[in-house]
Amino acid sequence: MENPNIPWSLIEDKLRLAGRKQAWLADQLNIGTNVVTNWKKRGGAPKSRAFEIATALGCSSDELLAASSQRHPTKEGESAFSADPYNDLSAGDNFALGPDVKGKIPLISWVQAGNWSEVVKGFTEEDAEQWLPALRPMSKRAFALRVEGSSMEPRYQHGDVIYVEPEAHAEHGRRVVVQLENEPEATFKELVIENGHKFLRPLNPDWPGPKFIPINGNATIIGVVVGKWVPE
């Protein structure tokens, strides 16, 4: 039968890679921990939550939805239309029409993102190329950027839109937007912290540029990437 849910095993793997717990995911989605616990017991999360979960975990909603469409065998004697994979109505989640919009964030240029004073004060309606829906709680300083180039492939393709949260904590392994000294535009890389030293690393293994860029007083971390949107 077709799995109507996003497999919990996939969500759990991504939580483990991010060093996060179920309670953290519940907090990011602004839902009760009992709902996430119920997803785990049922073996998956509803597809209506794909965008929110992907945004929280920093992955593509397409990846989550593709996993939910994979077919799996039924147990002997089990109906192919078993309701078990769904949350029960008491969870208040199975019948949702879709994720709630939590406001809007501005899509800005890389030059604007590199101006820390602009980021600190926030952006006005005139500053943005367009305003995008924020399907998770984000600060008033949050913004979006359109990925340029191939340094972060294959995870982030040219043209993808990333959501950036300046108030998120920049930890080892998080993808960050950084302003390097004497550079007019911000840059987007993975943050590596080893033995007290910080580096920026492109994800593309075939990237011809430096594999590690050391940073210290010559860089300002503007924000942490908390999700992405892939335009059709």
Q: How many whole angstroms separate alpha carbon 212 and alpha carbon 214?
A: 6
Residues 6+ apart with CB under 8 A from 189: 151, 152, 175, 176, 178, 200, 201, 202, 213
Per-residue pLDDT of the chain (232 residues; tens, 9 = 90+): 334 689 999 999 999 888 889 989 988 887 888 889 889 998 999 888 888 888 888 888 888 888 876 644 444 444 333 334 434 433 444 444 445 556 788 999 999 888 877 777 777 777 788 888 886 788 888 899 999 999 999 999 999 999 999 988 899 999 999 999 888 899 999 999 998 899 999 999 999 988 999 998 888 999 999 988 887 7
- In the sheet with 143-146, reading across from the earlier edge strand, the strands are 130-133, 104-108, 143-146, 161-165, 219-229, 175-180, 187-194, 197-201, 213-215
Residue-wise pLDDT for 85-104, tens only, equals 434 433 444 444 445 556 78
Tokens of 188: 């987007």
Q: Which fold has domain 5-91?
A: 434 Repressor (Amino-terminal Domain) (1.10.260)
Q: Which fold has domain 104-229?
A: Umud Fragment, subunit A (2.10.109)
- 5-91 with 104-229: one CATH topology? no
CA angle 99, 104, 105 (to 5 degrees): 120
Tokens of 168: 């998120």
Beta pairing class for 44-46 and 5-7:
antiparallel
What ranges do the domains of the chain cover? 5-91, 104-229
